Amino acid sequence: MSNDLDMKNNDANISDLIGSPIASMTAGPFSRRRLLAGAGVLGAALVAAACGSDTKTATSSTTASTTGSTTGATTASTTAATTAGTTAGTTMDTTTATSGATDTTGAAADGGATDAKIAQLAAGLEVLAVGTYKAALDAATAGSLGTVPPAVATFVQTAMDQHQQQLDAWNKVLTGAGAEAVTEPNATLKPTVDAAFAKVTDVAGAATLALMLEQIASATYQSALPVITDKDAILLAGSIQIIDAQHAAVLLFVLGQYPVPDTFAPLDKAVAA
């Protein structure tokens, strides 16, 4: 009797300490049947725990594998898309830049051709001016123009020399660009000038003809300035234009007219390139 109570007390202590499911095994008198039953429950619990652990491991592995695959695929896809976008953008930028360079080259070529035409035109006008002043000086020396005031003779000689220097400057521009120097007068104006000079019999007539040439040259340079693209050619044309305008002012004074009749430089006498 005492032994049975001791065993019951021991079972109660074990149950309190361990708890279910082992507690159910130790809740009654200790026996072989209860031991086997308890062992069966414990085994089942261990198996369930093991299976749960395996399932969690498998699930974790599967999740990790899936996540890794998805992340890898996404990263690869994003990288590929980014690379493709970058490549496309770079290609587009390169194409645009190349196209822009081509357009710039074309514009520069067109500008160079225009500058060359203007330089040839200017040189032809200078040849004509030098020849006309030379003819007037020869006529004055031969006495064909009557009495020539010394100041007028000095002006004719000075103007001729200045036009020669201007011609040399334009020919330097042309030969420097690989073109030929201009030695012939402007073909469009020469017949008109020759016809007018044939009628000159005095200083006033010679001055009128020279004035026409100076006004044509000044207006031509003035109209060419916005078109010329080369900086040095712009400076050259501008520096010559003002000198030709001064020549015109002197000739107007010689003819008894006001030297500076215009508020703005007229362009109506300009010759096109």
Predicted confidence (pLDDT) per residue in 147-157, tens digit:
999 999 999 99
Predicted confidence (pLDDT) per residue in 33-62, tens digit = 333 334 343 334 333 434 444 444 443 443
Helices (H) and strands (E) in the chain, counts: 7, 0
Percent of the chain with pLDDT over 90: 58
For residue 237, give the nearest of 166, 172, 176 by alpha carbon: 166
Mean pLDDT across 183-205:
97
pLDDT in the model for residue 110: 73
Identify the pLDDT of residue 47: 35
* Residue 166: Cβ-neighbour burial (10 angstroms; 0-12, 13-18, 19+): buried
pLDDT tier at 176, thresholds 50, 70, 90: very high
d(CA 67, CA 69): 5
Q: Does residue 269 have a pLDDT over 60?
A: yes
**Local structure of residue 183 (DSSP, 8 states):** -
Q: In the CATH hierarchy, which top-level class contains the domain 108-254?
A: mainly alpha
And the tokens for 53? 């652990």
Q: Which amino acid is at 177?
A: A
What are the structure tokens assigned to 185, written together? 């007068």
Mean pLDDT of the chain: 75
Question: Helix H segments across 142-186?
Answer: 150-176
Domain boundaries, the chain: 2-65, 108-254
Lookup: tokens for 94: 């390169």
Please tell me whether the peptide bond between 226 and the residue prior to it is cis, using omega within 30 degrees of 0. Answer: no
Q: Could you identify the residue written with the tokens 């996404």?
A: 74
DSSP code for 180:
P
Is residue 20 within 8 Å of residue 38, measured between CB atoms? no
Amino acid at 57: T
Mean pLDDT check: name the lowest of 20-29, 127-136, 164-173.
Answer: 20-29
Distance of alpha carbon 24 from alpha carbon 46, whole angstroms: 16
Structure tokens at 37: 């039953």
Read off the pLDDT band of 240 (50, 70, 90): very high
Rounded to whole angstroms, the Cα distance separating 162 from 245 reads 13
To the nearest whole percent, how much of the chain has pLDDT over 70?
Answer: 60
Please give the Cα distance from 50 to 45 (Å, whole number): 8
pLDDT at 108: 59
Per-residue pLDDT, 231: 95
Q: Give the tens place of pLDDT for each residue, 73-84.
A: 344 444 444 444
Q: Which pLDDT score is estimated for 58? A: 41
Which of the four pLDDT bands, split at 50, 70 and 90, describes residue 273?
A: confident
Q: Across 33-37, 61-65, 222-226, which has the greatest mean pLDDT?
A: 222-226
Instruction: Give the mean model confidence (pLDDT) for residues 163-177.
Output: 97
Residue 101 DSSP SS3: helix
Per-residue pLDDT reduced to its tens digit, 111-134: 789 999 999 999 999 999 999 999
